[in-house]
Structure 1
């Protein structure tokens, strides 16, 4: 097995940073939608708005989970670098492995969230197609 060096976990920094930026953008977009739905619901208490609010709430929770797993993965990468620095290579390999698993989980949750988003958009499209 090859030796884990400081550059290996450092390579993930840019990837995780870009992923976190994308997650944050999703979160901000959902926050805007929530505010809009809230205002619409206060004007007109429509049951379809409640369904949309429930859908966006579920997506917000998934986005939060994606962010938590992504940030934890980044923290584990930093911890890996520290462990390499203090010559704890065996522990560093295990911590880096956990960082990779957390990143995989974060991306898997992203896939779930995208599926829900697509279903929500399909519902809006079906309203147009039925007319």
Structure 2
């Protein structure tokens, strides 16, 4: 397989957009944590505390998603430098490593989304229970 300087550059837009999406998720999560902390301070609800514990796991996943994404883009830049220096075999391996790092980042993103959906399911279940209690 022939790899040129432009091959790793093709991942730049994709990785940049992923990092932007990860940052947006992080900001939304930070705001949610702050609001839930205030809510927990006033209510001491076990549901709110459970959500906060869930958010801690998601926060760690987002941090790792960002770390793998940044490592991937760093690998692409290093790959371009190595290819520019004329070491095509090393460049191929480094590009492959960059793609593997990107796959790890995407796998963590998938896991974070699954946890997020589970948290929303808990909220919906709680809402349905409250509605059923009011109906009685």
Shared fold by TM > 0.5? yes
- Measured in 1, the distance between the counterparts of 2:21 and 2:69 equals 11
Specify the alignment match of 1:69 in structure 2: 68
TM-fit CA distance, 1:41? 1.6
- Measured in 1, the distance between the counterparts of 2:27 and 2:99 equals 26
Q: SS state of the match for residue 5, structure 1? A: coil
Unaligned runs of 5+ in 2: 132-136
Structure of greater Rg: 2
The normalised TM-score by structure 2 is: 0.93
The superposition leaves residues 75-114 of structure 1 with CA deviations (integer Å, 9 ceiling, x where unpaired) of 0000000000100111110000000000001000111111
Specify the alignment match of 2:25 in structure 1: 26
The normalised TM-score by structure 1 is: 0.96
Unaligned runs of 5+ in 1: none
Specify the alignment match of 1:41 in structure 2: 40
Q: SS state of the match for residue 44, structure 2? A: coil
Structural RMSD (CA): 0.8
